[in-house]
Structure 1
Amino acid sequence: SCQRLDVRRLRLLSSHTLSGVTSLEWLGDGHRRGRARFVDEDVRLLRRVFPSLRKLKLRGCQITGKYLCDLELLNELCLDDCQYLESQHFRDLFRQLKLRKFDIMEDCDEVNCCDLVDLQLCPTLEHIKIADYHLCMESDITQQLLQLPRLNKLSIYSKNFVFDVLSR
């Protein structure tokens, strides 16, 4: 497990393979500039350096999500304060990965409920944590999510509180 890995150190590891690392937490500062920012190319680097990665938490990154689906063994993904996520990459992400847990609770402002409709393409999901502003109450997304075959927990974050809508 790696926590608080500086992206510049990650880049220094680019010629190494650390197959014993299965969990990575990168807590960045979304306001960083230049080489200290965690961007899409760094996700590709994660795949090379940590080929056994199963759990990934990214906070304050400038990724679009373009290469997340390349992390083939990933089964837990947490994205917080990732302001540059692009919805067009979610379809591949949810179709290709066998995620058990997906968490998109805080400050991913570019993501809305229409983007998360593709969650239903991932039948392996057991736990979804999502912010209430990602949900449109007039859409059927909540009902669609509840139909996922393995889903046993749906948590909705709302103004510093987490409500478990479903807990089986």
Structure 2
Amino acid sequence: MARIFISIGSNIHPEGYFNAALKALSAHFDNLCLSSVFESEAVGFDGSNFLNMVVAADTQLGIAEVVALFKQIETDNGRLPGAKKFSPRTLDLDLLLYDDLVTQTPIPLPRAEITTNAFVLWPLAEIAPERVHPVAQLSYQTLWDNYDKSQQRLWPIEFQWSY
């Protein structure tokens, strides 16, 4: 059984898509642990604010199977295949960590956005503060404490779950 960490983001009707994502994830994975939901300005393009969070879960699926499942959940929720990287989106699911595996295939892990994006690092530090980044060899709380918070505006929000 692997412990995975998933980044969820949306800036098109995010409340509905977050609930749909959590419903789908809870149907496929065990022991979900949810961070707070954070709002942030769009990064890389001008657009409406995003909601973001991180979810931890247990799975028996391999990395490629997890990624394929995420793509299917995104597609089922209106994400267009081949959409530009920096653009509005209904739902974005990214595998951040698969246990403490460091690999380039089938995808690069740990995901680079962990240390570069506040909207990934803060919620990850919230639910796994003592867990150690397998490359940086620092805890996620330490990485967050050392993060230059002037780089990205980010704030926690109240969120009503209905999944």
Structure 1 or 2, whichever has the larger Rg, is 1
| TM bracket (short chain) | 0.3 to 0.5
TM-score w.r.t. structure 2 length? 0.33
TM-score w.r.t. structure 1 length? 0.33
